[in-house]
Each structure stands twice: as C-alpha cells, then as structure tokens.
Amino acid sequence: MDFKLTEEQSELQLRVRKLVQEKIAPMANEIEERGDYPFDMLALLAENGLLKLLVPEEYGGQYPQILALPICLAREELARGCTVTADAFVMQGLGSYPIVGYGNHEQKSRYLPPIANGEEIAALGLTEPDSGSDVAGAKTTAVLEGDFYLLNGKKRFISNAPHAHTYVTFAKTDPEAGHRGLSAFILEKETPGFQFGERLELMAPHAIGELVYENCRIPRQNLLGEEGEGFKISMYNLNIYRTTVGAQGVGIAQAAFDAAFSYAQERVTFGQSIINHQSIGNMLADMATQIKAARLLVHHAAWLRDSGVERVAKDASMAKLYGTEMAKRVVDMALQIHGGNGLVRGSVTERLYRAVRALTIYEGSSEIQRIVINNEIQREARK
C-alpha cells in the first residue's frame, strides 16, 4: 500500500494550485458577480493544458485513457479557488465522456479535439422537468424518420445550456421499454428544432437552463452507441464523474478550513485568539479530520477506477456522498467560526455556503447515492 502521489500527479497538483493562487482565486468574486459562464477561465484552463485531462490522447488529450485521479486532483484545486471555474472544467468532461466511451472514431474525431482545446463547450442533457433522480422516467422521445431522429421534449437544469456547442442528450426510442428504451445522441447547437428554454437563476452562480426539442432533427449518425444504450451510457459517465464531485466537495471544504483557520488565529475574544477556545479548536480538528477522510475516499475510488476495477459504483457513490455531505458540514462550521463576518456578502464563507449546496443534489442526490451503496452491499453479500 502506498499513499503517495506519483511525481507526475504531485506536479499536476502543485501546478494547478499555483495557477489557482495566481490567476483564478483573485478573480473569484468578479466571476461570481458576472454570474455567467467564465469564458476567460475556460481559455486559461485550455492554455494550461488542463482540459486535455478530459479527453484521450488520440483525440487531443493527455493520456491514452482517461484517468480519474488527475481529474480529481485538478478539480479539488480549482474548487478551492473558484467553484464556477471548477464547474466549467468538469463540464467539458461530463459532456464528452459518453463520446469517449461509446462514440465511433468519426464521432470522436469530430467532437473531442475542440473540447480538449477549449474551442467548443460541452454539456450533458439528461434531466427533465419530471425526471431527475428517476432517469428512466424521461419523457423526451426520439423517432427515426429516414436519416434523422426527431426529438420532442424538454430538458431542465442543464449546465452550460445557453453556451455549449455539443450536447450529449437522451431520449426514449422505445417509450414502453423502461430504462432499456433510453438512447443517447450527440446534439449540435445549430440543429433545427433545438432551442434554449428558460435560463435558471440558482442561489450560487451557475450557467444553467432548459433545452427545448420540437421536432429536433438529429442526424442518424449522431446516435451514440446502440439504440437502448442510453441508461448504460449515463451510468458509465457517473461512475467516474461522481467521484470527482467528491473532489469538488474536498476543495470547497479545504478553502473553508483555510479561511476559518486564519480567522481563528487572528480574531481575539476575551483576551485571546479564538483558536485557543476549546470549542473552536474542536471544530477545526473535526473539519481537518473529515476533509482528510473524504480526500482518502475520493483518491481510493479514483485509484480503483484507474486500476481497471470494473465495478466501482459503490466506491464512487461513497466518495460523492461523504465528500459532499462533509463539505456542507465543514463550510457551516467555518462560517460559525467567522461569527457575523462569515455572513457578509462576498466573504469566502458566504460564497462557499451558497456554492456547496448543489453538490448533494446533482449527479445523483445523497439519497440516491445511499440506494446505490445499499444495493451494492447487498449484491456483495449474496456472492
């Protein structure tokens, strides 16, 4: 057993940390205030080669195969400095990984290189107004007519919705077949019959909105994998990206801890720094312990996936569940340590308090992670 990062992994971690400290964190408040997609930060990530972690080498990426651990290392550091930039980073992967896994050579050659170099923005259109957790309950339909699939329906809560060039989206090619009736498609921005619906304003800035399909004509060759493989494709995506949400939780929690630790050293009450009050010290100890536990879970789940272990759903869900629930608790404690100052708009804790809330909802809520973990535990017990 070896808990050390390799030289290459350490180099990546330090390189992203430096980039965040010098160029991203100082912009965090401004990016938040803009409240829109951070095009300048995407360009910076591309310039520094970070988007290459999300695409295989053959199509403009860094490694022959996509590796979860480097993505987690980068996402943690980015989230530590600016959650909006971390979101932009990871969406390039979430929206392209189905193409990596299920695309043919032509699809990969057309869509992946511009995502790896930041020229095009990727998105994933799965959730609908009436189906979020229940992916198989999707109502959007796709009917093959000649050389085109005609899609009808609506997607909601789609990150990057107003800005992406390439969407991987899902629709029922066989509405009677439950999850086996779901298929995945590559959708280009300019496709006839496709338009943006409402743009949603969330409690923390996030470019997000609706996609509307009215006889949206997707060329037949843009079907991803086979008809009926949509559910499998969406789960394939989550097995890697859920772990990285845990990493985002760790990054947010680390930023909250750093702020609380400095504040606790400086702030004086009753004649001494508050870090010397036992209940504040205990909070910091709990925070540090929980951050470390979450980071280990994230790294372990990523390592399992990168080692070629096939069934990683349980570990990915544990990393996501613990990493994101931990982040909510840690941010709350950090804010408590700041007293009234922690609530002031624009302060680190106020920003993180709003930003952390979505993590236990997207890519499968905490309730859904517990279902996955419980199912896997029972499956293992039957073996």
Ligand X SMILES: Cc1cc2nc3c(=O)[nH]c(=O)nc-3n(C[C@H](O)[C@H](O)[C@H](O)COP(=O)(O)OP(=O)(O)OC[C@H]3O[C@@H](n4cnc5c(N)ncnc54)[C@H](O)[C@@H]3O)c2cc1C
Rule CB under 6 A: which of 247-266 touch ligand X? Answer: none
Q: Which ranges of 227-277 would DSSP assign to H, the alpha helix?
A: 230-266
Interatomic CA distance for residues 95 and 279, integer angstroms: 44
Closest CA to 5 of 300, 252, 254: 300
Nearest to 295 by CA among 77, 97, 8, 87: 77
- Least distance to ligand X, CB of residue 72, Å: 19
List residues bridging with 217 in a β-sheet.
150
Distance, in Å, from the CA atom of 52 to the CA atom of 365, rounded to the nearest integer, reads 28
Over the window 111 to 140, marking each residue x when it contacts ligand X by CB under 6 A and - when it does not, the resulting string is -------------xxxx----xx-------
Residue 83 parent element (H or E): helix 83-94
Task: Check 210, 229, 325, 363 and give the catalytic one.
Answer: 363
C-beta closer to ligand X: residue 202 or 293: 202
Sequence-separated (6 or more) residues with CB below 8 Å from residue 42 = 51, 88, 92, 118, 121
CA pair distance 366, 328, nearest whole angstrom = 12
* Residue 7 structure tokens: 């030289």
Candidate list 157, 167, 241, 257; residue touching ligand X; CB under 6 A: 157
Please name the amino acid found at residue 366.
S
Who's near 311: CB < 8 A, 6+ residues apart? 376
Least distance between ligand X and beta carbon 161 (Å): 8
Instruction: Verify binding: residue 358, ligand X, rule CB under 6 A.
Output: yes
Q: Which lies closer to ligand X via its Cβ, residue 46 or residue 136?
A: 136
- Is 128 considered catalytic here? no
Q: Is 92 in the site for ligand X (CB under 6 A)?
A: no
Residue closer to ligand X, measured from CB, 126 or 182: 126
Query: Please, what is the minimum distance in Å from the beta carbon of residue 375 to ligand X?
Result: 11
Q: Does 206 bind ligand X (CB under 6 A)?
A: yes
The encoded tokens of residue 374 equal 């419980």
Q: With CB under 6 A, what is the number of residues at the site for ligand X?
A: 19
CB of 154 within 8 A of CB of 216? no
Cβ proximity of 153 and 193 under 8 Å: no
Element (H or E) spanning 337, and its range? helix 313-337
Minimum Å gap between C-beta 157 and ligand X is: 4
Q: Tell the smallest beta-carbon distance from residue 169 to ligand X (Å).
A: 9
Least spacing, CB of residue 120 vs ligand X, in Å: 16
* 247 three-state secondary structure: helix
Q: Which stretch binds ligand X (CB under 6 A): 75-83, 108-116, 153-161, 346-354?
A: 153-161
**Does residue 37 interact with ligand X by CB under 6 A?**
no
Least gap, CB of 349 to ligand X (angstroms): 20
Considering beta carbons, is residue 264 or 313 the nearer one to ligand X? 313
Residue 373 interacting with ligand X (CB under 6 A):
no
| Phi, psi for residue 352 in degrees, rounded to 5 | -70, -35
Nearer to ligand X, 12 or 78 (CB): 78
Q: Which of 69, 88, 158, 247 binds ligand X (CB under 6 A)?
A: 158
**Taking CB positions, which residue lies at the least distance from ligand X?**
132
Residues forming the site for ligand X (CB under 6 A): 124-127, 132-133, 157-159, 202, 206, 208, 358, 361-363, 365, 367-368
Q: Which residues are catalytic?
A: 363
